[in-house]
Every structure is written in C-alpha cells, then in structure tokens.
Structure 1
Amino acid sequence: MVSMKLSIPFYERGSNCGSNALRMVAAYFGKIVSENYIRNAGEMGPDELTNTIGLAIAAAEMGFTPRLLSKYSEFNRDDLDLEWYKELPPHDIQKFARLAKDRKIEIEKRIMSLDEVLSFANRDSVPIVAIDADMLSVLPRGTFVGHAVTVVGYDVENVFVHDGEPFEAICRGPFDKARRARGTEEDVLVVYRNKEARSNDNRLATRPPSGP
C-alpha cells in the first residue's frame, strides 16, 4: 500500500494559518522562525490578508525556492463577493501583484489532480494548499472559509496535514473538493529546499497551462 509521511515539525497555530503552515515547512528545511517573521518577510501588514503571494515572497526571503501554482494567473476578483473576503480587513491586490513581479515570483496557471499536488510532498519540497475549511467542518454552514494547510503525507485513502493536530487524516475525496472550492483559486504553494531541488523537478514542466 502506498503510504508516506514526512517528518515535518508541528507547531500549534498562532494568529494565522498560512504563516504557521510556512513556519512548519521552514523548520523541516532547518530554519526556525516565528509567524511574525514570516508576515514581515512577506510584506504582509497586520491588517492585510495573508495570501499565497506573500507567503511565496517570505519563502524566497528565507532562502527557499517557491513555486506558486493556481487556477488563475492573477487574483480572481469575483471571489471578493464571497462573505469571507468581505469580512476580512482590506488588502491591496495590486501591491502583491507588483511584489510578485519585482521578486520574479511567477504564478503558474495550472489545474492539477490531487495526485499531482501530493507528488510535491517529498524530501525536497512541501506543498501548502489553500482549502475551504467549511467543507471539512462537522457542521458546515455552506459558506466559504479560507484556510491553508501543510500537506505532510498521504496513503491510498487519506491526505495527512498538519493543522489543528499533527498528521490529521482527511479522506481524499473531501480534501479534493475542499481545495477546488470557489475562493481557493486552487492555489498550491510548493516550497523547495533550494534552487537545485527546484531545477531538478520536472513535474508539469511540459504540460500546457489549462483552465480559464
């Protein structure tokens, strides 16, 4: 049976899921940092939404090599109609688009299968996946709740993530639906150990971009 778990350190979440997800990946690659360090490195102010571009910038600042894959080549403004986005402090979409360009962080427009996403969980890279947490709730409300989790392993039935607890098992089907939900943009931030690890990874290199 195919089964794999990475020995990624687990940290209880502080103020933000995305920053904590990257914090755990950084520790796996040997760098111990705080959530505040990550927010500052990613130029995400205290009143700004933590986003995958900011996390990618922070990963690069720490010496890792980020690869951001998404259904869209830029933020889908239609998602701002979702109540979750309306309730969050305003954030400057153009600011992060500019920062991504300045830091040469490319958003690769891809629609990936779950197996493709999971293939990035290995010795040299770890995927941080955007999901709709409401879809995985015991009592779902039917409204989008943005969340980010660190994928730390998988088997034939489950995806293992560090979230509220270490190595939480989520059935593949529900996890796949949660990551494809409207509002996630199907964002996957792959963090590589270094540039060499990224250059040696040819996954999705020849497949043309797909999706809207």
Structure 2
Amino acid sequence: MMRLFRKEDVAGDVRRRKVEILLHSTHLTINLPRILEDGYVDTARGLRGRLGEHAERLLHDPRRLEKFAVGLDYINCSLTDPNYELLYARSKSAWQAEWVHFKLSLELLSHPDTMFCPVSAAQDHGQHVTTGLEGFRTMFAEQVDTYSRDGLSKNEPTHPQAEVLINGKLPLELVQEIITPDAQAMNEVQRLLEFYHQKIPVTVEPKFFLWPKRLKK
C-alpha cells in the first residue's frame, strides 16, 4: 500500500520547531503614534512617498537601506526574540524603555513573498535573503558566521540578527498583541490605543527586554 506523505512547508516547520513568536519592534514615542493613526505599519518606501524627508526619523535603520534596496518594500521582523542589537544601536542605554514589540500572526511566515535571512538582511547587500522552506531553514543552520546552535532552543534562530521580511504594509489586524516592558509603558500604549480608536491587547512581558547573555554590548 502506497504511503501518503504530507508535503513539507514553512507552516510545518514552524510547528515542528514550536515557533510561537513573530515580532516587529517599534519605537514607543516616535513610531507607535503614527502607526496607530495610519492603521498599519508602513514600509520605508511608503513612508518616504507620503512624508518625504520627514520619514527618516521613523525608519529604524535608514543607512542599511543604502546597502539593501529591497528592504524598502519590506517590514523587518524577528523570530522568538527581538533583534536586540538593532534596538540597542538606535537607543543605547534607554532601549528597554523606548521600544515595544508587535506580536504578529504566524500565518505571515507562510506567505510566498515573505523572505528569510540567517543574518542581518543588509549583510553583503542582501545576498543571504531567500524565500520558502529552504529560506526559513537557513535561519536555523548549525553554524551561521561565528554563531552555533549550542545552548539554543529549537525555536531560536542561530544568529541573533536573523530576520524575517514581510512584504508590503502590515495592517494592524495582523497584530495579535503589543508587548511592553513594564506597567508604565503599558499604560502609555493603552492611552495611545484609546486616542486613535484601535483595539489591540497589551501585555507586560519583561523577558523580551532583557539583554541576552550570548551578546556583548
């Protein structure tokens, strides 16, 4: 009797690795009010088209787009943990108080135009960015640059700057909750949500704002 095998896909690997967290990090005072007013997270190209030179202050890392033009049309995200190095590079000592994380629908990982990168997407001008199941799996390779999987859970990408890139605008309907570091930040997010007439659950989860032991500042 012929056995039927389910075709392997990204969603299957997500389940197998028990990946439960897809995050987009945004600045509490600079970005979040604009996002809640717009009703979506916009791409760098979209922001520049609408706001011109005023868009630059809203971009997480404008300089990387000079090396990675494809990133103009994508929203950068991370799996399981935030991209701590990016947040620290922008905010230095105050990064824990200045950022919040959008927890996104995992269905975005299975979109055919979602891209994956085992390192920072801008590294080597985007040469490491790929799509599909093989692209997803590169994020969990046994060795990526100087990083290995020693001591990592199976849902943690090997490199701390591994990225998921979501194509186009990201509507707030795909944001399942907003993660904050403490009660003060949660209260401010809730105030902004009420002001802009948006309804998204808000949680306090300090573990997403603790500097990982394997990284050096």
Same fold (TM > 0.5): no
| Larger fraction in helix | 2
- Provide TM-score, normalisation by structure 2: 0.30
Which structure has the greater CA radius of gyration?
2
